[in-house]
Structures are given as C-alpha cells and as structure tokens.
C-alpha cells in the first residue's frame, strides 16, 4: 500500500496519522513521510489485499492519498 | 483531553465559520474523491463511498461544534481526543477543497513552503488563503499537544 504526496497536508500531520494508524514509532513514520515528500510516494504496508484495503480506507478518512499496488 | 490556547476575536471566528460552512456545503454529498476504490465489487464500492461520506460529515460536525463553542478563541480550550481527531480530519478535507476550488493557481511548492505573499493575491483569494492557513495552524496546535515529536518537523 502506497501513500502519495499532496501539497496540502502538513508534514507533521502525515507523521501523526501514520503513527496513529499503523502504530509506527516516530522515526519510521518520519522516514515514510520524507519518502512521500521527496519521492512522491512511500510503500507503507505490505500484506493481504483485504488488510491493505482496510488501511487505504482508514487513510482516506484522514484525507491522505493512498492506493494499492499488487506485488509481482 | 486536548488543550489548545488560541486568542482570536469573535468576528474573525464568525467570518471563518461562514467561509468553512460554504466550503462544506460545496462538498455536499460527495466525499473528497477517493484515490482508490475496490475493484469489481459494486456493493463494496458503495459501502466504501458511503462510509467516507459519513466520516466526513461526522468530522465536519465536530469542527462546527468547536467553532460554535463560545469558549473557542478565548484563550485555553479543551476538547476530547476524538473531537480533536475529527477536527483535524475536517481541517484537512476543507484545506484540500479550498486548494482545488479557490486556490488552483498557486503552485504546489508555494503552498508547501508557505512562500507566498498574501497581499499579492486578489482580495477574495486572500480570504480563502487566510482560512487555509488558519486551519493548518489549528492542526499544528493540536498535533503539538497530541504528539510533540511531530512538531519538530
């Protein structure tokens, strides 16, 4: 599952959401946020489609841009 | 509980509230367009979109509850954590809508860095950009309380 960059959401907000939703520590959440900011996307979760879809939906309620990409 | 401290005159709160109400009304029944929807399952897609819409409505209700509270903007203000979460989500949704509908000419880089002189914008855009900045500032204030490490960014 990928989180994509947007010019609106604050960097601190993205870190906070990733920490809340995935339980990441600050350093991990910050690493993903910087990938999103600098590379436009970050792979934040790899699991079954059902679980990944659940997380995409949760991130969408937080107004982040998240998509699924199939492995292989 | 989450406590923020904010001093702002009631007229400004009312002006912001009016602007926010317009934006929320313009979102209407449509949740901000989702970037991903489940494939080939109309029932799941319908449930997905309905849930996003309901979630946004609940979040906006939290925002209006806070803005209409007489204590808001008059110094220290406490709110439950679920209210703070909803308020932050609503702020993001409204900022995204403001960006799309009222600030489309501003470059992404200017929005991200804040490297933008508000007085150079047309007067109507100045009001919307001020609202955009205020909602972002409000999010920052809450994040500082909820997760101080995030504030170091």
Per-residue confidence (pLDDT) for residue B38, from 0 to 100: 85
Encode pLDDT of A27-42 as tens digits: 999 999 999 999 999 9
Q: What is the pLDDT along chain A (72 residues), one digit of tens a residue?
A: 999 999 999 999 999 999 999 999 999 999 999 999 999 999 999 988 889 999 999 999 999 999 998 876
Collect all residues of chain B within an 8 Å Cβ-Cβ radius of residue A63.
32, 89, 92-93, 96
Widest distance between CA atoms in chain B: 51
Residue of chain A with shortest Cα separation from B100: A8
Q: Is the pLDDT of residue B15 over 70?
A: yes
Could you say which of A11, A57, A67 has the minimum Cβ distance to residue B153? A11
User: How big is the A-B interface in CB pairs under 8 Å?
Assistant: 73
Q: Which of A18-27, A30-39, B23-32, B85-94 has the lowest mean pLDDT?
A: B23-32
- What residue in A sits closest to B58 (Cα-Cα)? A61
Alpha carbons B91 and B97: distance in angstroms, whole number: 10
Per-residue confidence (pLDDT) for residue A1, from 0 to 100: 92
A8/B153 Cβ within 8 A: no
Q: Does B95 touch chain A (CB under 8 A)?
A: yes
Taking CA B147 as the corner, what is the angle to CA B151 and CA B75, rounded to the nearest 5 degrees? 80
Tell me what ipTM this predicted complex has.
Answer: 0.94
Distances (CA, A) of B64 to B34, B106, B133: 24, 28, 18
From residue B103, give the alpha-carbon distance in Å to each of A67, B128, B131. Answer: 25, 8, 11
Q: What is the mean pLDDT of residues B50-60?
A: 94
pTM, rounded to two decimals = 0.93
- List pLDDT tens digits, range B95-138: 999 999 999 999 988 888 888 888 989 988 999 999 999 999 99
Q: What is the arithmetic mean of pLDDT over B1-20?
A: 93
In angstroms, rounded to a whole number, what is the distance separating the alpha carbons of residues A54 and B153?
28
Q: Does B111 touch chain A (CB under 8 A)?
A: yes
């Amino acid at each position: 599952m990928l989180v994509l960059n947007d010019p609106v959401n604050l960097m601190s907000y993205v870190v906070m959401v990733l920490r809340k939703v995935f339980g990441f520590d600050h350093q991990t959440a910050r690493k993903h946020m910087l990938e999103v900011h600098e590379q436009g996307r970050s792979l934040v979760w790899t699991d079954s489609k059902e679980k990944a879809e659940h997380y995409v939906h949760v991130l969408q309620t937080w107004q982040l841009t998240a998509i699924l990409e199939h492995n292989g | 509980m989450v406590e923020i401290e904010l001093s702002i005159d009631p007229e400004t709160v009312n002006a912001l509230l009016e602007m926010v109400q317009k934006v929320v009304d313009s979102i209407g029944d449509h949740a901000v367009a989702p970037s991903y929807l489940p494939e080939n399952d109309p029932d799941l897609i319908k449930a997905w979109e309905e849930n996003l819409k309901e979630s946004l409505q609940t979040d906006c209700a939290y925002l209006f509850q806070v803005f209409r509270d007489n204590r808001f903007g008059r110094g220290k203000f406490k709110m439950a954590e679920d209210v703070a979460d909803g308020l932050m989500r609503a702020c993001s949704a409204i900022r995204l809508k403001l960006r799309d509908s009222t600030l489309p000419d501003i470059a992404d880089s200017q929005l991200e860095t804040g490297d933008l002189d508000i007085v150079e914008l047309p007067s109507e855009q100045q009001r919307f950009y001020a609202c955009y900045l205020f909602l972002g500032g409000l999010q920052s204030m809450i994040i500082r309380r909820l997760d101080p490490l995030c504030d170091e960014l």
